[in-house]
Structure 1
Amino acid sequence: MRLSLIPAAALTLLALGSQARAANYAIDPAHTYATFEIGHFGTSTNRGRFDKKEGKVEFDRAAKTGKVEIAIDTKSVNTGYGAFNEHLQSAELLDAAKFPKMTFVSTQFNFAGDKLVDVAGKLTLLGKTQPVTLKATNFNCYDNPMLKREVCGGDFEATIDRTQFGVNYGIDWGFPKNVRLLIQVEAVKQ
């Protein structure tokens, strides 16, 4: 009699496990920011952000899997200084007229136990795609009391070599090739 309970229990667990599905989330633009930092002649750090972004997340907490697709409008670069914004949008740097979007598409979520440690993926900028891993410095899901929905999000960072994307402006003058990306993302369950 005990042997017949084991297969029944296994089937029940399999049925419950198959019901676990990835949930879909929409990026909340009010709580999602893409910022960057790059050194300026070893003296200070230039910073900026992109004001327009959109995307979606698929996340299965139980299976520890997910997908992220984020598109960032390169014309929305904002440093707080108009002339600098225009220079960043120019063909010398982001070439926003020719390449109005940069995208990040994940390939894998990586966990240590229950903690999300990073999201590996591919960043496309100026028509060139390179692997980028966004390290999670914060990650959590919570029930938003105002929206009455689950929200998941965190803080992520990576350092990229801009020359891999063809952004070579100022290298001969001593501008660094490494750019630090800081991504804050919150996404609302749909």
Structure 2
Amino acid sequence: MKKLSILLVAAVAVFSSFKAIETWKQDKAHSRLGFSVTHLGISEQTGFIKDFDVTIKAEKADFSDAVIELKADIATINTGMDMRDNHLKSPDFFDAAKFPTLTFISTGITGAGANKYKLTGNLTLHGITKPVTLDLLYKGTTTNPMSKAATSGFQVTGVIKRTDFGVGTNFPTAVVSDEVAIKADGEFSK
């Protein structure tokens, strides 16, 4: 009986030390997945992908152990100009009919200062998967007064090369920069 009691106490101690992994879903009304390129070396052209989903799973309150997954619909690319959007969706660039989805799955996160992290992961774009490193800023957690839910904010920034993913390879960098700046902002609730 004494051994059983000791085993039960030990089991409770072990299981109570485990914290549950929490899943955070994006608030679509307060999230944006944007990008920008330089055109003709003289002007910045911006756009965003309208339809995307992000899930964050974390055990720690500071998100230092976060696992992030993103899935975006290339057909919803929007630069504010229909003719340019249709060209970007064509085989000249993203070929949205053949490669409809962009995905990012994180593989690691390391501290880079107060609430700042280096987020590494595999980006799949235009049928090509490559590792990328992005900057992640955790902007804090508050209670949303409308939903009463804990809500956390994040910003992700970084630069990728479009030619690494076979996007717009027939367009020289003098026309469209090879470097594409990424800026994503989002709010997430449990």
The whole-number CA distance in structure 2 between the counterparts of 1:165 and 1:80 is 24
TM-score normalised by L of structure 2: 0.85
Whether the 8 Å CA contact 1:23–1:58 is kept in 2: the answer is yes
The whole-number CA distance in structure 1 between the counterparts of 2:173 and 2:151 is 45
**Amino acid of the residue matched to residue 92 of structure 2?**
E
Where 1:65 maps in the other structure, the secondary structure is coil
| CA deviation after TM superposition for structure 1 residue 84, in Å | 0.5
**Amino acid of the residue matched to residue 188 of structure 1?**
S
The whole-number CA distance in structure 2 between the counterparts of 1:132 and 1:122 is 6
**Gap change, CA 1:58 and 1:172, over 3 Å in 2:** closer
**Gap change, CA 1:36 and 1:113, over 3 Å in 2:** closer
The whole-number CA distance in structure 1 between the counterparts of 2:115 and 2:15 is 26
Alignment of 1:26-45 (within 5 A): 26-45=25-44
| CA deviation after TM superposition for structure 1 residue 132, in Å | 1.4
Whether the 8 Å CA contact 1:105–1:121 is kept in 2: the answer is yes
Whether the 8 Å CA contact 2:112–2:118 is kept in 1: the answer is no
TM-score normalised by L of structure 1: 0.85
Whether the 8 Å CA contact 1:32–1:183 is kept in 2: the answer is yes
Alignment of 1:149-168 (within 5 A): 149-167=149-167, 168=169
The whole-number CA distance in structure 1 between the counterparts of 2:189 and 2:79 is 28
**Gap change, CA 1:81 and 1:116, over 3 Å in 2:** same
Post-superposition, which runs of at least 4 consecutive aligned residues in structure 1 deviate over 6 A?
A: none
| CA deviation after TM superposition for structure 1 residue 118, in Å | 2.5
Match of 2:89 in 1: 89
**2:181 matched to 1:180?**
yes
| CA deviation after TM superposition for structure 1 residue 66, in Å | 1.5
Whether the 8 Å CA contact 1:22–1:66 is kept in 2: the answer is no
Match of 1:22 in 2: 21
Where 1:117 maps in the other structure, the secondary structure is strand
Whether the 8 Å CA contact 1:119–1:134 is kept in 2: the answer is yes
Whether the 8 Å CA contact 2:115–2:138 is kept in 1: the answer is no
**Gap change, CA 1:113 and 1:61, over 3 Å in 2:** farther
Match of 2:101 in 1: 101
The whole-number CA distance in structure 2 between the counterparts of 1:137 and 1:69 is 16
| CA deviation after TM superposition for structure 1 residue 67, in Å | 0.9
| CA deviation after TM superposition for structure 1 residue 35, in Å | 0.6
The whole-number CA distance in structure 1 between the counterparts of 2:165 and 2:52 is 20
**Amino acid of the residue matched to residue 54 of structure 1?**
D
Greater fraction of residues in strand: 1
The CA RMSD over aligned residues, in Å, is 2.3
Q: Count how many residue pairs are aligned between Structure 1 and Structure 2.
A: 179
Deviation per CA, 1:43-97, whole angstroms, max 9, x where unpaired? 1011111111113110122583121111111000111110000001001101111
Whether the 8 Å CA contact 1:109–1:116 is kept in 2: the answer is no
Once the two structures are overlaid, the 10-residue window that deviates more, 34-43 or 147-156, is: 147-156
Match of 1:6 in 2: none
| CA deviation after TM superposition for structure 1 residue 115, in Å | 2.2
The whole-number CA distance in structure 2 between the counterparts of 1:21 and 1:188 is 16
The whole-number CA distance in structure 2 between the counterparts of 1:97 and 1:182 is 25
Whether the 8 Å CA contact 2:52–2:72 is kept in 1: the answer is yes
